[in-house]
Amino acid sequence: MMSLEAPRLNITMRFLDGTGPLSPATQVVGTSDGGDSGQSRIVEGALHDASKLRELSTGCDVVTMEIEHVGVDGLAQLEEEGVNVQPSSRVVGIIQDKFAQKVGDYLFVR
In tens, the pLDDT along 59-103 reads 899 999 988 889 999 999 999 999 999 999 999 988 888 887 777
| pLDDT at site 89 | 93
Full-model pTM = 0.79
Which of 55, 15, 50, 10 lies closest to 31, judged by CA? 15
Side-chain-facing half-sphere of 55: CA atoms under 13 Å? 17
| pLDDT at site 104 | 66
| pLDDT at site 1 | 74
What count of residues does the chain have?
110
DSSP reduced 3-state for 82:
coil
